[in-house]
Homo-oligomer: A and B are copies of this chain.
Amino acid sequence: MAISAAAPESISSGESGSAHLRLAHSVLSPGAQFADEASFHRWWKEVGDRDRTRVRRVAFDELERWRRDPATGDLGHESGKFFTVHGLDVRLPGAPVEHWQQPIISQPEVGILGLLVKEFDGVLHCLMQAKIEPGNAAGMQLSPTVQATRSNYTRVHGGNPVPYLDYFRDAPPHQVIADVRQSEQGAWFARKRNRNMVVEASGDVELGDRFCWLTLGQVYRLLAVEDLINMDARTVLSCLPLAGQGLSGALPARHRFAAALAASCTPDSGALHPTAEVLSWITEQRTRHEVHTARAPLDSLAGWRYDAERVAHESGLFFSVIGVNVLSEGREVRQWCQPMIEPSHQGLNAFLVRDFGGVLHALVHARVEPGYLDVAELAPTVQCTVENYTLLPDSARPPFLDDVLDAAPERIRYDTVLSEEGGRFHQARNRYVVVETERDADHPDYRWVALHQLTGLLRHSHYVNVQARTLTACLHSLTAADGSAFGAVGAF
């Protein structure tokens, strides 16, 4: 099925410091594939019914084509591709916990997370994929158009070609809207990064099986559904160079939060701290903290037990490394084995947000994680798994945690459980929360930043971590929350 194209002239990327995008998004649009949310869900169910995926835990010995290094216990694929699981020794002088060891995933290849967008009848649409991954809580989730490791797209696994890949590997004549490498979980991945791309298609685009066109507004609406928009889609969405011009004018004055949110997307509305000051603070944080990491053998990590079926912390906390056997039955039958990381508990990622002079700001934390390429990245105000702190010193308890846990319901602007990457993490679910506050936050490791500042930083690699990118996408999604004010035209 092909949807014929409208002329793309209303999307243009400007040239004045930060590129911005005049996008139109709507919840309902005459050109939309789905007239309403119910019709999307019917399609979703129909696609989901076609496939069955069975994920079975297996011992490390039963991981076909994977080898356990006899000297170290490290787990690697026989091809030398995909990823390995090894140990890491971490030293953070001055931190509440100054030294520890842990397993970590090493995946040096840079994959592509690509979102193809296109205007139909003046409304921006995203080409989304219904994708099954073994670790997903709900089995199938909405992913970006392309989600491919280098091993995938060079077809080490001997699978089918990756649909739509050429739009991202050889973009012209299509328009590249965002193209940046971003980190992923620095607690679980050693220096992993993926290339986040948004490309606007010119000409007709064939609509493949398991793919659908959603307006950006529809995608934003679906971000409020548990375990639906996958992590890769969220990180790519966060890189959209949105600008809020035109939003705030359309708002009734009583929508104070919505107006401050719209202003926050608009570079002209300013910020509490000028960007030069924010950049200097990041430089200071990255200079002040020292991170020393060294590879260590997986089978002799202090505090970890390595048995036939898992590598787990003695306390039962944090996470385990497990093995799974995946059988996917549908149009084609695929079967494979792989190690995965299984977190012990659900995590919490939250932004405190506050209105300064009519502009909404998020409180970001300069967070050090051992897997980051460059010491620290901007993280949510709170990013933690509460249960883990039973084992850690009181000084390690995250600042502002109680502001989130005790937030009055009327101050909670967003609150949904979303899944992390289902290709590497097994049932990794985090509660994402946005809480409006009026409190001060005078802490040297935290700063209030406007959303347009985050958008500016997201043009560059390694500033904003994957959890904060999800929350950035969630904040953007709230601009579509009120259909009457935002949904209809909403030039970002």
Partner of A176, one of B178, B241, B276: B276
Query: Among the listed B13, B270, B374, B460, which residue makes an inter-chain contact with A15, where contact means beta carbons less than 8 Å apart?
Result: B270
Are B287 and A181 in contact, with the CB atoms below 8 A? yes
Cross-chain contact B274 with A13 (CB below 8 angstroms): yes
A195-B287, A287-B110 known; A274+B19 contact, CB < 8 A: yes
Would you call A280 an interface residue if the criterion is a C-beta within 8 Å of the partner chain's C-beta atoms?
yes
Which residues does chain B contribute within 8 Å of A461, judged by CB atoms?
A: 283, 374
Flag if B179 contacts A283 (CB, 8 Å): yes
CB < 8 Å neighbour of A180 from B241, B268, B279? B279
A346 CB–B CB distance under 8 Å: no
Shortest Cβ distance from A281 into B: residue = B179
| A16 contacts B by Cβ under 8 Å | yes
Chain B residue numbers with a CB within 8 Å of A374 are 373, 461
Measured CB to CB, the closest approach of chain B to A178, in angstroms, equals 8
Residues of chain B within 8 A (CB-CB) of A268 are 16
Could you tell me the distance between the alpha carbons of A181 and B177 in the complex, rounded to whole angstroms? Answer: 27
Chain B residues in 8 Å Cβ range of A271: 15
Distance in angstroms between the alpha carbons of A277 and B280 in the assembled complex: 26
- A280 proximity list for chain B (CB < 8 A): 171, 176, 179
* Contact, CB under 8 Å: B15 / A17: no
- A343 in contact (CB, < 8 A): no
Residues of B within 8 Å of A241, CB to CB, are: 276
User: Once the chains bind, are A17 and B373 in contact (CB under 8 Å)?
Assistant: no
Residues 373-389 (chain A) with a chain B CB within 8 angstroms: 373-374
Residues on the B chain within 8 Å of A19, using CB:
274-276
